Chain A
Amino acid sequence: MNLRFKRLISQVIFFLSTNLGFRLEGVFPGLKTGFCYPFFYCHACPAATSACPLRSIEIGVYRGNFNWKFILYPILIIGFVGVISGRAVCGWACPIGLLQRATGKVAIKLKKKYPFVKKLGQYRIEPYLRYIKYVAFIGLVVVTPILIGFMFTDICPIGYLVGTIPISILNPGEFTPNEFFYIAMGVFILFLILIFTVERGWCRYFCPIGAMLAPFNKISILHVSVDKEECVHCNICSNEACPMGIDVPNMERDPECILCGKCIEACPRNVIKFERT
């Protein structure tokens, strides 16, 4: 069984376990836990099993009334996962990663067909755009809830995708848009454009949970390593495999690596591998 297929199975299993909260009258009571997901998913989804870690942090800092339990709990869960496997959850477990795996195929085709799309990932400014996710995390998940009560989850495109849309479909005529509905819809449309034009665009530039996990790549037990002495810098791994646009031959515990293993499979000399410690 190749790595790609193993990863698909893992993503499907995690997707199903993320959505065990649905209730089937007389058949299944629905599983609602008090855990936070270590990846991006919204508790407002009618089938959600657990809580969004961002919401917990937002509640913990809301208007400066610090509730340390709500702040530390998701950080510890993400920290545990991060120390073990870095950002592997982005590649192997996150349902939004699974979605982008599908849309990434469109992004690759567009990249081949339209030079403009290909150029998107090659501008000099591109590596700096990756810092947006850290700014989004600090700014919208921590600072604005403290100062003005505005939260990232008010306009979160994932909440719109897995919360707003299914609830509107399941309960026609029962709900009306609130003040953030149309802003969130705009953000959601931009999110769709992004993931259809840039492979793993959300993970690269905007995911606040990716921003929380990224620093753990520097110390994670599991990571991807390149044998630099054997590498001939053919760049197949970077140009044709890596969905995160990393310069794989020169990477050293790169914070952007989601441990998907595509570079390992693509390397013709087998000098890239998963490594422990």
Chain B
Amino acid sequence: MQKMLVAQVALLVLIAVGFGELVFEFSVYEELTSDFGVYDDIHDAIVSTLCLSCIKLDPVSRLDFVFETANGEDHPEFVLENLTKGPLFIEYRSDVCKACDDMAPIIKDIFKLSFEKEETLYELVNYNGSDVHFYHINLDHASKIQWDSWPIYDKDHIKGVPMFVVITVKYNRGIIEPCYTAAYGTLGLDTDEERRNLITDMIDDGIGLHEDNHAGYKYP
């Protein structure tokens, strides 16, 4: 009985210390940090993000370009600035995501780029003779500005990754304004060829709209 009690108390103390270390990231040498360590990581990576593989579904891709941002926030500065030179293609992903891993080779092949999945990358790419701003944003390693851009372009309010966004400019009631479209997961398509075709269609539409309208676009 006594031995069991000692074992139970020892285990509870061990668990409490381990839990405190994981959540508060404290040690005897450091002060308490302001965030909640793994608590925030679990909240952001699992609870707040729709896990497309957990629901065994892919969102249907509708490639219409819209003006209103998904969460009502303004377009980020890096988007508005780059739109003067060409449309943007942004790939959002996370470290652990099978659909992201499935789509990554297709995206790399389209843009003729090579990068690691943990990397956050920006390149001005020559795509069939047109300039396209390519962003690869891994949400697990992204800066705050990059992370905050994810819900802005989550057109169908999916909150899932991978998400592919094309941002360009278009005529809207008298003025030329930024507009965007988004596709998710493995795009609801079965083969790599179909997926590749849909992504290239998105990019071609973005380039076409930019070529037609960029002369009237004014960077605010």
Contacts and interface: CB of A to CB of B under 8 A. Distances in A.
Given A70-B41, A73-B22, A175 B47 contact: no
B59 A174 contact: yes
Interface string A70-95: 10110011011001100000000000
Interface string A238-262: 0000000000000000000000000
Contact of B57 (A35, A168, A220): A168
A175 to B, nearest CB: 4
Given A70-B42, A277-B1, A177 B57 contact: yes
Interface stretch (B10-18, B66-74, B165-173): B10-18
A167 interface: yes
B58 interface: yes
Contacts of A219: 4, 7-8, 11
Interface stretch (B48-56, B85-93, B209-217): B48-56
Interface string B76-87: 000000000000
A32 interface: yes
A265 interface: no
A213 interface: no
Nearest to B53: A154
Contacts of B22: 69, 72-73, 76
Contacts of B51: 43-44, 55, 153, 163
A43 B47 contact: yes
A116 B56 CA distance: 34
B37 interface: yes
Most central of B4, B19, B52, B54 by chain A CB within 10 Å: B54
A120 to B, nearest CB: 29
A230 B44 CA distance: 54
Interface stretch (B94-102, B143-151, B198-206): B94-102
B36 interface: yes
Given A35-B39, A219-B11, A65 B46 contact: no
A62 interface: yes
B45 A176 contact: no
B28 interface: no
Contact of A59 (B4, B45, B60): B45
Nearest to A51: B46
A159 B56 contact: yes
B9 to A, nearest CB: 9
Contacts of A164: 55-57
8 nearest A-B residue pairs (beta carbon): A34-B43, A34-B39, A175-B57, A44-B54, A176-B188, A51-B46, A69-B38, A62-B96
6 contacts: A34-B40, A55-B51, A65-B95, A80-B19, A154-B56, A177-B58
Interface of B: 1, 4-5, 7-8, 11-12, 15-16, 18-19, 22, 36-48, 50-60, 95-96, 98-99, 101, 156, 185-186, 188
Given A49-B47, A65-B95, A221-B8, 15 more contacts: A21-B47, A34-B47, A36-B42, A51-B46, A56-B46, A59-B45, A69-B37, A70-B38, A83-B8, A149-B101, A167-B57, A174-B60, A178-B58, A178-B99, A179-B186
